[in-house]
Amino acid sequence: MSDEEKKPLPSRSHVITPQGAAALQAECDFLWRKERPKVTQEVSDAAKLGDRSENAEYIYGKKRLRQIDSRLRFLRKRLEQLTIVDRIPNDLQKVYFGAWVELEDDDEQRYRYRIVGEDEIDLERGYISVDAPLARGLLGKRVDEDVSIMLPKGMIEYAIISVSYQPPSWDQAPSKSGSRWVMD
């Protein structure tokens, strides 16, 4: 084995924003209270039609129930593991978990990101994992600081333009035309 193969995987953070935790809980509630009862009724109705071995509705319904139950088990276990980070840091000029960050590269191209837990990643909105190389390189840095970050495409230099712990006006659902987090 080479040294590269022996390296352990980086530790994964078990943190989430309050909004992310609410979204996971809402999904769990929806699956348990709405979707699962609906699919259970569909399976019951399909079972009454007779031969289950060739009953596509029954077979599909049972498969869907297994998927729902699997997702519910995952969500419940995951919610128990996560730590909700709901405190705003003392130094609002530094990049910490949950921050919205605006960067500028050497070509004056601007990028906007939010540092979130792995369950909240949404690249269309610029939500990146706290465990991503870019986020790790930004953590603890402050506004107006220049940072060099090793990314898969190589070493990149950024200037930190702004840091916010309240949703900025540019953090909205992505438009149909594409990403909102890279500015022209």
Residue pair 14/83 in contact by the 8 Å Cβ criterion: yes
Residue pair 36/65 in contact by the 8 Å Cβ criterion: yes
Q: For the chain, where do the domains classified as CATH 3.10.50.30 start and end?
A: 87-184
DSSP 132: S
Query: Minimal CA–CA distance to 165: which of 12, 19, 25, 15?
Result: 19
Question: Domain 87-184 is of which CATH architecture?
Answer: Roll (3.10)
Range with the lowest mean pLDDT among 2-6, 85-89, 141-145, 159-163?
2-6
DSSP 51: -
Q: For the chain, where do the domains classified as CATH 1.10.287.180 start and end?
A: 15-84
DSSP 32: I
Tell me the C-alpha distance between 184 and 182, whole Å. Answer: 7
Tell me the C-alpha distance between 50 and 105, whole Å. Answer: 65
Tell me the C-alpha distance between 64 and 150, whole Å. Answer: 43
Across the range 108-130, mean pLDDT stands at 94
Residue pair 146/158 in contact by the 8 Å Cβ criterion: yes
The pLDDT value given to residue 27? 97
| Amino acid in position 27 | E
User: How does pLDDT run across 139-157, given as a tens digit for each residue?
Assistant: 999 999 999 999 888 999 9
What are the backbone dihedrals phi and psi of residue 85, each rounded to the nearest 5 degrees, phi first?
-100, 105
What are the backbone dihedrals phi and psi of residue 159, each rounded to the nearest 5 degrees, phi first?
-110, 135
16 burial (CB, 10 Å; 0-12 / 13-18 / 19+) is buried
Tokens of 33: 């209270």
The pLDDT value given to residue 17? 95
Would the pLDDT of 174 be above 90?
no
Tokens of 93: 């000029």
The pLDDT value given to residue 179? 39
Across the range 18-33, mean pLDDT stands at 96
What class, spelled out in words, does domain 15-84 have in CATH? mainly alpha
